[in-house]
Chain A
């Protein structure tokens, strides 16, 4: 049961730009921002971005994030075949005292 809301699927063409969204509330995204995870089939999630737009070492600059109010966004530029994956947002909820996740968006690169 997802605490954050994500669209189930997004399809974009090769080398295009995809924008994935994640909506929470004042207690999670609105408080500390969102983190974004990428998961390929059969593999664990991998952190792409945290606290809205900080990238861990080794993550491509094609991945960036932003926040507007209680909605976070992940922007992927120059889409490549390997970007086809499931993308999850997460945030710490200060009232639940727990990490909450979105239901995931399946990105298809056409």
Chain B
């Protein structure tokens, strides 16, 4: 049974970096048919896809235009996980953050992490 387990702080100060990790069990971050996304959800913005990484003989990275200048998604093959870094956060980045699996559909989601940006 495939599971995604998220970890990371729930409170980040403005201008600092939001960092979350998604640990994968039952699948591989290097799966050549897979893809690994970060998505966030807030009352004001709804569900918003942030970006993804996937492996097809080499690593690919795709990011949403809205966060492209501030985001990094990194695969970690040693620990079979992937991470999200979002720089220079503001209160508008307050949301529930999810990791998710899927290339042609988002078929499995992590449990979600509520992240609040506040001093």
Contacts and interface: CB of A to CB of B under 8 A. Distances in A.
Given A96-B65, A98-B62, A46 B109 contact: yes
A84 to B, nearest CB: 19
Contacts of B26: none
Contacts of A100: 49
Interface size class of B (residues with CB under 8 A): 20 to 34
Interface string A83-95: 0000010101000
With most chain B CB atoms within 10 A of its CB, the pick from A92, A97, A98 is: A98
Contact of B109 (A45, A51, A92, A99): A45
Given A44-B109, A90-B106, A98-B62, A1 B46 contact: yes
B12 to A, nearest CB: 21
Interface in A41-75: 44-47, 50-51, 56
B46 A101 contact: yes
A51 B105 contact: yes
Nearest to B111: A44
Given A44-B98, A100-B49, A101-B46, 14 more contacts: A37-B106, A44-B109, A44-B112, A50-B105, A56-B107, A90-B47, A92-B104, A96-B65, A97-B62, A98-B64, A99-B37, A101-B47, A102-B46, A103-B46
